[in-house]
A and B are shown apart, each in its own frame.
Chain A
Amino acid sequence: MTQTQAVEDDPAILTVNNLHVEFDTYGGIVKAVRGVSFNVRPGKTLAIVGESGCGKSVTVQSIMGLIPMPPGRITSGSAFMEGVDIIKQRIINGRDIRGDRVGMIFQDPMSSLNPTMRVGDQISETLHVHRGYTRKQAFARAVDLLAETHIPEPATRARQYPFEFSGGMLQRAMIAMAIACEPSILIADEPTTAIDVTTQAQILDLLLELQHKTKMAIVLITHNLGVVARMADDVAVMYAGEIVERGSTDDIFYRASHPYTLGLQGAMPCNDPERKQGLQPIEGTPPDMFAAPIGCAYYARCPYAMRLCAENYPQKFPLNPRHYANCWLHHDSAPLETAPKLFRGETP
């Protein structure tokens, strides 16, 4: 086993190690996140992909301290940012990292903004709290930020309430709020899921433009592989609370090494005029997280499952220094003829 983290070329800005999160419910304990490790590089975009309920939102929310505890519980794991474990301690240099070093935008802008406050005041609140701006300074900066996110007539718009904005503009206002303190990481939790394709393209362009300008890292949570292809440098594929495959965007799209990644690709229509092959749905449903499987979580749905997968937890098999997959098919004694589309590393 090699240490994949050790060979990263740039220093990571955020390193998450072996994160476990549980929730107490009436039905028992749900193990929502089971040993997730990843790192975020400065100026790059990491996409976390997976179906709903796979734990992608819970992962970032627990790092940010946004899950309600109880019922939630972080049982183990660490998230280091500038040498500080931000799970234990949310304060770096005397300031809360949330809204300052780490900005966050959410899926539903309509319900994430305060309906009783003017949009400009909501943006200036961050600057007032974190940067100690006076109300007047902060409001002036809020107007600039609205202009930076391409909202027309920013001075007028800043004095309006959220209900006077359209969905796309609200998402821009939320981005303005998140970047107010020039964060080094922007976490975007399904930023375009509730939005039309045309507006989605605008929002994605805006995020790329801001990233280019400020060199911030983006953690993008999504289930849309098209958005991933457009935005991401690195991709982590999550299934049932675990990262099953991690690599560069090209690794994941052209050298997919986990059957679940292949399954997701087969289930999406591709925009190639030459090919209109049948969609291959992934049969079955994700496992019950009250009693997480002992072996591979994907065993029950995997078309290439072997007997050993049911009871043995798959190892992490590295395919290149930045690309790994948790799948027994990469073991030396696994039969080569199964899973013909699976990438098994460069042949020497």
Chain B
Amino acid sequence: MSVLLEARHVTKHFVIGRKQVVHAVDDVSLDVHEREIVGLVGESGSGKSTFGKLLLGLHDKTYGEVFFKGEKLPRRYKSSDFQRYANHMQMIFQDPYSSLDPRMTVGEIIGEGLRNDTSDPVVARERISDWLSRVGLDPDHGSRYPHEFSGGQRQRVGIARALIMEPEFVVCDEPISALDVSVQAQVVRLLGELKSSFGLTMLFIAHDLSMVRYVSDRMAVMYQGSLMEVGPADNVFFNPKHPYTAVLIGSNPSPDPKLERQRQTMSIKGEIASPINIGAGCRYADRCSEVMDVCRSMTPPLLPVTDAAGERMVACHLYH
């Protein structure tokens, strides 16, 4: 498998006041291979959505580069850049309520990107109704407005809007968090079907660990803007190496009462620290149960670790 998208030392700092800088994403490097789903997990405020938006140019990068099929993407997008890359990269947003313009019909929302591609209204209309039926909606519903649809149906509209451009790479930013359990499964299955029929590559951002393990090939764990661990989804889930990954997975209750009764509680101590003006050292050091002196003075790099289950990348002094 060749690398489709390559992020090198991507960093985003938000300046929020005099000498106050939020380190939203700090020096993140991640490769996404063709036809692969990478799951990105982390607590809220860990920078997962910001990273997804940086990849697509929805935020300007402070440092770092993103390569798409070997081509370096601009640090700051101009509107012509957005049009150029719209056919290659798209995004599915978290909230199916606020991400659809209430004054546009669903057909207009889905077809908006096509104006970039084709000017023939007949072709556009055909493709819109084709996509409505592909995502499981009635092709005649293109003239309806978003408020006439349920949450799950709106999320399907969001998916159709992103995929009608036939992109190679899609960032799914918590596409199922706002949905009910039974509808989550419908949307996940739809994404899986579309992946196999179009060969999509996805970055799947979520905080539901069981779902991420289920959906993705590889899993990346983020904490306070840094990657803590990256590896094959099952390995990371069942055999976490980084102490933070272990706590994150240990906190996730499993729908099996017998397992839950045996399991020791693994709740994390303390609160997530402020992301403003972070100094050197591991970001997790203050909450880590295995903390050593070196953790407070030196930021651990993300380095490969090999074990029986295969290779993965871990940013922890315990392994280096």
Contact = CB atoms under 8 A, between A and B. Distances in A.
B268 interface: yes
A201 B268 contact: yes
A265 B255 CA distance: 8
Contacts of A144: none
B104 interface: no
Interface in B179-221: 180-186, 188-189, 207, 209-211, 213-214
A230 B253 contact: yes
A37 interface: no
Contact of A226 (B43, B189, B210): B210
A169 B257 CA distance: 27
A279 interface: yes
Interface string B252-273: 1111111110000111100110
A51 B255 contact: no
B91 to A, nearest CB: 23
Given A51-B180, A279-B185, A281-B186, A226 B214 contact: no
A5 to B, nearest CB: 24
B257 A198 contact: no
B182 to A, nearest CB: 4
Interface string A200-231: 11101100000000000000000111111110
B247 interface: yes
Nearest to B272: A166
Contacts of A198: 43, 247-248, 251, 267-268
B44 interface: yes
B204 to A, nearest CB: 13
B150 interface: yes
Interface in B41-66: 43-44
Interface in B233-253: 234, 237-238, 247-248, 250-253
Interface in A309-335: none
A52 B180 contact: yes
A251 B250 CA distance: 25
A205 B265 CA distance: 8
Given A169-B271, A196-B43, A279 B188 contact: yes
A343 interface: no
B260 A229 contact: yes
A264 B253 contact: no
B183 A271 contact: no
| Tier of interface size on chain B | 35 or more
Nearest to A228: B255
Contact of A202 (B185, B214, B248, B267): B267
A273 B255 contact: no
Contacts of B209: 197
Contact of A267 (B181, B238, B248): B181
Contact of A166 (B150, B214, B271): B271
A227 B255 CA distance: 7
Given A196-B44, A282-B182, A253 B251 contact: no
A65 interface: no
A267 B255 CA distance: 11
B214 to A, nearest CB: 4
A197 B251 contact: yes
A51 B182 CA distance: 8
A269 B150 CA distance: 23
A72 interface: no
Given A250-B257, A279-B189, A268 B248 contact: no
Interface in A236-260: 249-250, 253
B266 A201 contact: yes
Contacts of A264: 181-182
A270 B254 contact: yes
B255 A268 contact: yes
12 contacts: A166-B271, A169-B271, A226-B254, A229-B255, A229-B260, A230-B253, A264-B181, A268-B255, A271-B256, A279-B189, A281-B188, A282-B182
Interface of A: 51-52, 166, 168-169, 196-202, 204-205, 223-230, 232, 249-250, 253, 263-273, 276, 278-283, 285
Interface of B: 43-44, 150, 152, 180-186, 188-189, 207, 209-211, 213-214, 234, 237-238, 247-248, 250-260, 265-268, 271-272
Given A201-B267, A263-B182, A268-B210, 18 more contacts: A51-B180, A166-B271, A169-B271, A201-B266, A202-B268, A205-B265, A224-B253, A226-B253, A229-B253, A229-B257, A267-B185, A269-B210, A271-B252, A273-B234, A279-B188, A281-B183, A285-B150, A285-B152
